[in-house]
Chain A
Amino acid sequence: MKKIVLASLFVFLLFLTPLVNAFAYLSIGQVDLVDYATEVRSKAWYLTVSQNQMSDYAVGTISSEEIKDPETGAHAQKDLKIEMNVDEQTCRYSIQKVSLMYRAEWKRFDLSWWECAILDYSRAEQECAEWIGSYHGYRQSTECKVWCFRMIPEAWHGELSTPSLSFKSTIKLTVDGETKTGVINRLEQTEVSFDDLAYARWVGSLSSGDECPKAKEEGVVAAYIDYSWRTTGLEEYNRYLSAYTNFYSCVSGVNTDDEAMYCVNNLNNKLDAALMYKELRSKGGSVAYTSGTVDSGMVTIKLAKLIQYPVINMWIKADWLGIVMPYGMPDIVKAYSPPFESGKTGYIHVEVKNVGSAPGSFGVYADCPSPLSKTETEYTPTLQPGETATVVLDIYGTSPVEVKRTCKVVAYDRAKPENRDETNVEVTLYPIGVCPEGERRCKDNTIEECINGAWQPIQVCDYKCDYIDGEPVCITPRTCKTDADCAPGEVCRNGICVPKPPTPPAPEWEKYLPYLLLVGGLALFGYSVWVRRKK
């Protein structure tokens, strides 16, 4: 019983093996989301696809989750189905007709006794010629007999050209029901485009399990007989050709019917052998078949379509496959700001945690009311899920009094700003002492008072701010008649004392005084020298 089960299992496996080998599976290795791929002129998914075994059909359905960029965690939105099918792998040989192949026939014509007495062969030879007719023929006239031979064309001998391989393979990419097909026409081809939506490239040739046999090396020629070509043996043809070449010398020595028959049979036997079918078979076991007319003969071998693609690099437009970008989710764990002095830089320390399911980088900023400034946005490094980072925001503000303000701290995912978290932080700004509290001073024509540590204008004078007994006061203009009625530094103008105007600029001629002095000095110098030398 056990033996029967094992035998059944063995038979089942034998039956199953060719089915399993019938098609191969495709799998992807590296996946990358490329910002710009020149092959598709846009953002693209870069995949490396490999085939597990040789086959005429390879298929792989790669789920969107499998097409995942390990660095960013982004994955495709749609599944991708890749099918690679070998449609055709055919060797073709054209047949070139070379020469006719003949079957020989013979007949004997005897002379009458009278003709024999006078050795007149003309009638017999005439009959021989008539018997040969339009065919090609020979005759041997001897011993009052004429042996007549005619060559009946039976076939065309043809030679096969070097083979040409017709190859066609299609790669189909199906995304969301839409299929794009790329066609490969040569085994040596290394790239294929899919309507600008995808691009495939591989290094090296496609590995085929079979190749086109060379006819001469296989000893195969062709013969056209009975209105069709057949593949025949080259060796047999060569034997026929030898017999045909020697046929004339054979018939030249014919004296008897037996000898005539021998010559004819020898040639015809070689012909029969040369016209025997000989198969042309590839290494993979595929057998050739012939087709075409006498002038367009063709030998074809359909090779086994098993094929092994090298590792294929594919670029698929990101728009086609879609991108699902996972985002991080920020969570502000802690935020605080130590009090800082007016006019100096304060800091808000913010601790951010990524509570999302994907890595994320977060921008953090604080929005503060006056007199505090809004901070610049600082960025965390890329945080893995569960990871935390602390950023420090610079904050500025000036105030003469201590102020407490509530700043809104915001953290958001840089890739998806909608993912955000907010919290409030109290910021304390304390003043620095810039003046004695309550003191007053003149600033131009304004009286200022130190209020809460800062000079604040309290009164603008109509005429002038000045000090009386050390106190700044607005003074009214004094009436006067002359400058003597006014205080030092003042002059009397229009009946009131006004500050002395600045000294008017020097008159124009004063500018030239030094040069006049110099020119005068030179003139005097020259005159003095002249007078001295004259003496």
Chain B
Amino acid sequence: MVKDEEIKEMIKEYLKEAKKELIVRQFPKAIPWLFNPANLPIVIVGSIIVFFAVLWFGGLTIANVLQALSSPYIWGLALIITSIFKPYKTLVMWSLIMTLLIWGYQVHQEVITLTERSECQLPFIGWFICSAIFAAKFAGWAWNFIVTLFASWISIYITSFIYFQLTKGE
């Protein structure tokens, strides 16, 4: 005789399995809209529109983006992030994180070089001079951030899309 407790456990197990199966069956609906190959043309067109919108705004050129996309750092980091974190739903967040990593490093290097300039070494006024230089550089950095963000988003999206298709979303 099967005890009630055992039956309850069996039903529980069954429901658990059924839920799993339901999740598997409903998986296509669960994945982000972005990674459906059927939507790929819309994604590409949307990306181009965004790119040209930024281009229209000024400060960004195709050459900048292509230069950023040709960096092995970008693709190396994108592959690592995709492999570990599978950022299907957190694409923007991971793009921002990757941008901050790359862009932050570049700005940091530049700041160090700038602070080593003799003007910044002057007593009292050195700090003001350096701040002024940074302020003057800010616009360039800001646009560089946008370029890096755009390139990061594209690289993570492409690697995630390939990963998703290879693993069927599992």
Hey, which bits of chain A sit against chain B, CB under 8 A? 487-489, 500, 514-522, 524-525, 527-529, 532-533, 535
Contact = CB atoms under 8 A, between A and B. Distances in A.
A524 B166 CA distance: 14
B128 interface: no
B72 A529 contact: no
Task: Bin chain B's interface residue count.
Answer: 20 to 34
Interface string B39-78: 0000000000000000000000000000000011101111
Nearest to A512: B72
A518 B83 contact: no
Given A488-B121, A489-B121, A528-B84, A521 B75 contact: yes
B82 interface: yes
Given A488-B118, A522-B76, A532-B166, 10 more contacts: A488-B122, A517-B80, A524-B79, A524-B84, A525-B82, A527-B83, A528-B82, A528-B83, A528-B84, A529-B167
Contacts of B122: 488
Given A527-B83, A529-B163, A515 B170 contact: no
21 contacts: A488-B118, A488-B122, A514-B72, A514-B73, A514-B76, A517-B72, A517-B73, A517-B80, A518-B72, A520-B76, A521-B76, A521-B77, A521-B78, A521-B80, A521-B83, A522-B79, A524-B79, A524-B83, A525-B159, A529-B83, A529-B167
A517 B167 contact: no
B116 interface: yes
Contacts of B126: 488
A517 B102 CA distance: 13
Contacts of B77: 517, 521
Nearest to A532: B167
B42 to A, nearest CB: 25
Interface of B: 71-73, 75-80, 82-84, 116, 118, 121-122, 126, 159, 163, 166-167, 170
Contact of B166 (A516, A522, A533, A535): A533
A516 B122 CA distance: 41
Given A488-B121, A489-B121, A525-B163, A518 B75 contact: yes
B163 A528 contact: yes
B79 A487 contact: no
A169 B73 CA distance: 105
A166 B80 CA distance: 117
Contacts of A529: 83, 163, 166-167
Contacts of B72: 514-515, 517-518
Contacts of B121: 487-489
A524 B159 CA distance: 12
A489 B82 CA distance: 44
A532 to B, nearest CB: 4
Give the 6 A-B residue pairs with the shortest CB-CB distance, closest first. Answer: A488-B121, A521-B79, A517-B76, A514-B72, A528-B83, A518-B76
Contacts of B75: 518, 521
Nearest to B78: A521
Nearest to B82: A525
Nearest to A521: B79
B109 to A, nearest CB: 11
Contacts of A521: 75-80, 83
Contacts of A514: 71-73, 76
Contacts of A535: 170
Contacts of A527: 83
Contacts of A524: 79-80, 83-84
Nearest to A533: B167
A522 B122 CA distance: 48
Nearest to B81: A521
A500 B118 CA distance: 10
Residue from B80, B84, B159, B163 having most chain A Cβ neighbours under 10 A: B80
Nearest to B122: A488
A527 B80 CA distance: 11
Contacts of B71: 514
Nearest to B120: A488
Contacts of B84: 524, 528
Contacts of A532: 166-167, 170
Most buried by B among A487, A521, A527: A521
Contacts of A515: 72
Contact of A489 (B73, B80, B116): B116
A528 B84 CA distance: 8
B166 to A, nearest CB: 5
Contacts of B163: 525, 528-529
A115 B170 CA distance: 175
A525 B118 contact: no
Contacts of A519: 76
Contacts of A520: 76, 80
A8 to B, nearest CB: 117
Contacts of B166: 529, 532-533
A525 B73 contact: no
Nearest to A519: B76
B5 to A, nearest CB: 32
Contacts of B79: 518, 521-522, 524-525
A396 B77 CA distance: 63
A25 to B, nearest CB: 92
Nearest to A520: B76
Interface centre among A525, A528, A533 (most CB of B within 10 A): A525
A519 B118 CA distance: 40
A487 B123 CA distance: 10
B153 to A, nearest CB: 17
A58 to B, nearest CB: 91
Contacts of B82: 525, 528
- From A515, A522, A528, residue with most partner B Cβ within 10 Å: A528
B162 to A, nearest CB: 8
